[in-house]
C-alpha cells in the first residue's frame, strides 16, 4: 500500500519519458502504449526541494560478516561543460580491471570483490559515489585505501591510463548500438538531462578530444573532497577529521 501511494503521489504521465529503440512499427507502438497506459491519470506533481546531506559520517549497526562502505562527494551534472573531464577521471579510477581501484583495492591487497566509483547526476546537480563491500576484518583498511585513492586522483592522471580508457569507452559505444535496451535507456537519460539526443559519432568526438591536460586541469580545480561516508556492518570505522 505504501509503495502504491508513493507511486500515485510522485509519478505522473506528464513527467514520464518513453524511449524505444530498434526496428519498430510506430503506429503499433502508439496503439500498444495507449492501451497499456490509458488508465494512468495525471495528478498534481508535488514540489521537491533540495536537502543538504547531514554533516559528518554515518554508521548503521548490522550483524553481518560483511561491511558496506559508501563515500559520496559533490560534483557536476551531465549537462556541465566539464562533465566528460570528470567522467574521464573517474574512468581511470574505476573502469575495468586496469583501473586504480581494481588494482589497488582488489588485486594488490585482496580487500574486496566489489569496488567502484560512479557519477550520479540529475538535471542541475551531481555527485560521485564510491562503494566497496568487504569483510568486517578488512573494512578499515578498505576505507583507508579508498580515501587515499580519491585524494591521489586529485593529483592527476597519466597518458597511458587515458589511452586505455578511451579504447574501452569506444568499444562500449559500439556494443551499446547492438543492444536496444541499452540504447533506449541512454536515449531516455539524455532526453531528461539535456533535452536532446547525442549521436554516437558526437560522443566519440568528445572522447577523442579528451586529454590528460584537460582532465588534470579539471582535477586541480575540483579535487575530490567534502566526503560523506556511510558504513553498514558490525563495527563503526575510524574516519580522520581531515577527510571532511
As a whole number of angstroms, the distance between CA 158 and CA 95 comes to 15
Q: Whole-angstrom Cα distance, residue 116 to residue 102?
A: 8
Helices and strands of the chain, counted as H and E runs: 9, 5
- Position 84 scores a pLDDT of 95
149 and 206 part of one domain: yes
Residue 145 host element (H or E): helix 139-153
The pLDDT value given to residue 71 = 96
Instruction: Provide the domain limits for residue 152.
Output: 58-236
**Contact yes or no for 218/210 (Cβ under 8 A):** no
Q: Do 111 and 21 share a structural domain?
A: no
| Domain count for the chain | 2
Q: Both 138 and 30 in a single domain?
A: no
Which of 53, 72, 92, 88 has its CA nearest to residue 225? Answer: 72
Report yes or no: 134 and 111 within 8 Å, Cβ to Cβ: yes
Residue 93: CA atoms inside 13 Å, Cβ hemisphere, count? 30
Measure CA of the first residue to CA of the last residue in the chain; give whole Å.
Answer: 40
Q: Is residue 203 in a domain? A: yes
CA distance 130 to 115: 8
Give the helix/strand (H/E) hosting 66.
strand 66-75
Phi, psi of 98 (to 5 degrees): -100, 0
All cell numbers assigned to 38: 490509458
pLDDT at 197: 92
* 30, 63: one domain: no
**The domain spanning residue 125 has which CATH number?**
3.30.830.10
Q: Are residues 109 and 165 in the same domain?
A: yes
In a domain, residue 43? The reply is no
Q: Is 45 a member of any domain?
A: no
Same domain, 107 and 25: no
Q: Phi and psi for 210 in degrees, rounded to 5?
A: -65, 140
Enumerate residues 6+ apart whose C-beta is below 8 A from 73. 127, 128, 150, 224, 225, 226, 227, 228
Average pLDDT of adjacent 10-residue blocks, the chain of 244 residues: 88 89 93 92 78 81 95 95 96 92 93 93 93 95 96 96 91 85 92 91 91 97 94 92 58
Amino acid at each position: 500500500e505504501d509503495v502504491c501511494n508513493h507511486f500515485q503521489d510522485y509519478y505522473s504521465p506528464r513527467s514520464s519519458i518513453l524511449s524505444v529503440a530498434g526496428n519498430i512499427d510506430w503506429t503499433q507502438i502508439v496503439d500498444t502504449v495507449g492501451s497499456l497506459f490509458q488508465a494512468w491519470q495525471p495528478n498534481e506533481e508535488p514540489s521537491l526541494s533540495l536537502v543538504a546531506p547531514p554533516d559528518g559520517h554515518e554508521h548503521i549497526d548490522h550483524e553481518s560478516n560483511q561491511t558496506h562502505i559508501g563515500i559520496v562527494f559533490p560534483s557536476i551534472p551531465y549537462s556541465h561543460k566539464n562533465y566528460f573531464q570528470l567522467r574521464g577521471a573517474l574512468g581511470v579510477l574505476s573502469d575495468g580491471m586496469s583501473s586504480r581501484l581494481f588494482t589497488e583495492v582488489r588485486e594488490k591487497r585482496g580487500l574486496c570483490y566489489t569496488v567502484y566509483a560512479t557519477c550520479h547526476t540529475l538535471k542541475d546537480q551531481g555527485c560521485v559515489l564510491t562503494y566497496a563491500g568487504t569483510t568486517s576484518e578488512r573494512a578499515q583498511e578498505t576505507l583507508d585505501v579508498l580515501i587515499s585513492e580519491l585524494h591521489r586522483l586529485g593529483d592527476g592522471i597519466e597518458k597511458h591510463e587515458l589511452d586505455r580508457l578511451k579504447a574501452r569507452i569506444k568499444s562500449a559505444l559500439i556494443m551499446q548500438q547492438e543492444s536496444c535496451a541499452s540504447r533506449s535507456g541512454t536515449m531516455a537519460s539524455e532526453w531528461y538531462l539535456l533535452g536532446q539526443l547525442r549521436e554516437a559519432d558526437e560522443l566519440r568526438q568528445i572522447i577523442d578530444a579528451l586529454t590528460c591536460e584537460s582532465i588534470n586541469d579539471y582535477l586541480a580545480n575540483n579535487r575530490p573532497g567534502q566526503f560523506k561516508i556511510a558504513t553498514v556492518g558490525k563495527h563503526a570505522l575510524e574516519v580522520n577529521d581531515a577527510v571532511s
